[in-house]
Structure 1
Amino acid sequence: MKKLLKIIFMYVLLFSYNTAISQDQDNPWAISLGINAVDYWPVGQPDPQGDLFDEFFNVNDHWNIFPFISRIEISRSFGRNLSFSVIGSLNRIDKFGDLRTGPNGSLQTNRVPDLTYYGIDGAINYSFTNSGKIEPFISGGGGYTWLDKIGSGTLNGSIGVKYWFAPKFAFQLQSTYKHVFEVYGFRHFQHSVSISHKFGGDKDTDRDGIPDEEDNCPDTPGLYAFNGCPDTDNDGVADPDDACPKVKGLEAFNGCPDSDNDGVEDKSDRCPDVPGLTTLFGCPDSDGDNITDSRDKCPNVSGPNENNGCPWPDADGDGTIDRYDKCPNTKGLVENNGCPKLSEQDKTLINDYAKTLLFSPGRSEIKDESKLVLLDILRLLNTNPNAKFNIIGHTDSIGDSKFNQQLSEERASAVRDYLILSGIDRSRLSSAGYGEDKPIADNRTPDGRKQNRRVEIILVN
């Protein structure tokens, strides 16, 4: 009894000393409640006990389990990973190892009348981590155990793990080996399953269950998932990080909404109720012409911005819009600016008409009787407004060659000037004279000289 009193006094003294330190350092308390199982078999002792760790998990044959709350542990932490615990436990023992029975010496559970088991222990615990949900630990210490009226001191070593399923609550598994030195004591294992709750010493100003030292919003009740900060609009974004804390939104937009789900948050969306395009600030573009429907005068038909989203008209349907079509009412070719290409027949007609033009002898004035021919030439040129022509004058060989050269140039210029005054763009016409240098007939005969006195209109493009 004196030995027991000494052990208890040492535990009280050590526990009081650590408590004083813990209070100074504002360290938390913890209390654990659970059930325990006592196994006398796998401890390395002779019958009725067995080899060390033999059948360590043979629950049915060797474990004495008290099915009610039978273990209480009170602990106090000091430092970052250390704590001191006082443990009390209670059990009923009806399995005490195995005995060999029968002629073959087979092992059977050694049944004993219900023996009362009491234990009080002290331990110093070391946790391998002080963060995260899983906390493995080891313990070392000693205690005193009674089996009915027989008591003995023990030297204890433990291994265990805690799973923190809530900020202050953990599920704890622990296995302890208790070594007895007295000959009248019995070595054994004691296993336990407990629920642990830590409390005290943690200031929680807003009473949200999260201590201020871990609470990012210590003055406002919040959620554990957001380190103690609130989420007023329940959108999964904590209020300090929520740009729209009172309106439910998306994490991608810092808690702000996107009502039409078009990838553009409402505050930047010019059409917040209609799905649209990011490039058009959330507004739709039905015809894909990069003009929002609200600005598009033809929202279902693609058109240029210069025409308010409507296609340019093409009256003759030749693929050249009217604004660029030199022949808007006549179907033509795109490469010819919407005008039809000059046919070989028209080329021949223009040149044939030009050859019939009449001039006064030795002069460049066009005779009046040639005006109808000029009208025919104008008609053909207007039908082909994109065509360009070179007007060339020729003479016969009668007279001075220098005079004939000058006369051919003047007659070609006279035809060009007449056509320009009649509405043909000057950029379409050029003129030249070759005098008597390029005859097409014999200048020694009257008919040949008549053929050589001519004007030609040649298509350039």
Structure 2
Amino acid sequence: MKQLNKLAVALIMLFAFTFSTQAQNEDNRWSIFLGVNAVDFYPTGNGMAPDYLMSSENFLEDFFNVGDHWNAVASMTSLNVGYYVGQDLSVRGGFNVNRISKIGKTKPESKLTYVALDGDLLYSFNRLLNSGRFDPYLGAGVGYYWLDSEGAATFNSSLGLNIQLTEKLFFTLETSYKQAFDGGRLDLFQHTAGIKFAFGGKDTDGDGVFDDKDKCPEVPGLEEFEGCPDSDGDGMPDAEDSCPEVAGLPEFNGCPDTDGDGVTDAEDKCPKIAGLAKYDGCPDTDGDGVPDNLDECKDQAGPKENKGCPWPDSDGDGVPDKDDLCPEVAGTSADKGCPEVTKEVQDELNEFAKVINFQSGKTYITDYSKNILDTKVIPILNKYPNANFVIEGHTDSTGSKKTNQRISDERAAAVKEYLQTNGVAKERLTSKGYGPDKPIASNKTENGRKENRRVEINLVK
């Protein structure tokens, strides 16, 4: 029965009160309360020690019996600080002191010192009921109190009323029921009365919007834009307007788009001519991927690397000069603009190569052969700078095959080295010796063996 009565009190305190007022809110987030308190153990129906025990039958009995049961002193005994967190909710920390001479109908041998620290969450009904100067509220929280050296943790339920005296000054009445967590400790009622001062609202720029809600607290603005101005009158507050001095469109964050191409004037490199967003608002008349403002040939397609103009092709072979290894001679794209090495050219090379002679068993190129290389072979190779060639060395069958293989390797390498030394790119030439394996004449006659001792210059396909 006793616990049910206590639960009933808590429910009554949470739901029974239905009046409201303007008090602590967004404009006055902080508050300080100074007042007095009275502590009453009797209506709770329990006690702290055997001498103080009371029956649960007297729960809430003589709730207003001030003279017989209330403990109070004639001085300021309550102090709390509150902060409004929003949605009609506030948090509060409180400090209370008192001198206890009555615990129910029992008087202790000497007065006890009462000290309490509390933390509460308060809900205001002012905004909900809009009841003018009266602000009822409910609270719940936890605390701890001491009677001399004995202490107890409590769950607190509060019912209070703020009465507005001025814009920031209130007279406050409150009753709290503090139920001890430890069943062996005393529950109590604490009644407080005093003055609460609310503060914290500030309007620096005087535009009627308090600084805590003003996104532009130092510049006068409009309430509809949370205190920010709209200098250009385009319906976009300056704080959100990317072009606050020029009227624009909401879809462009307040910036204009004169040519209507979807690119704002501030970002449009051609603001008076409709263009494409990918070209910063400029058109591409010839469709070559180079916008007109960067295209030196607006009506003729060309690559970006040549400022929108076609690459020159001096020999007209379809390979632009920049990629043409033979820009003054028509060639093929497969040979990077150079002419193709035909069978006739290949045969001509090898006719000259046949007269490149070596003394028997030697790898030294004769002066006569050097002259042939300089005047006949090298000019042909340079005419086809994109073609690669292999220098092949061959011998007759005289001597051992091992020796002939070495000589053919060395003769081919000697010709390759001479050509490279005299201007043919190194990467275009390779050499290989075949010894006596590829004769073109009979090795049984002197003339046949002479023909077999040769060098060939063949195209690498």
Alignment TM-score, normalising by the size of structure 1: 0.46
- Structure possessing the higher radius of gyration over alpha carbons: 1
TM-score (norm 2): 0.46
Larger RCO (alpha carbons 8 Å, 6+ apart):
2
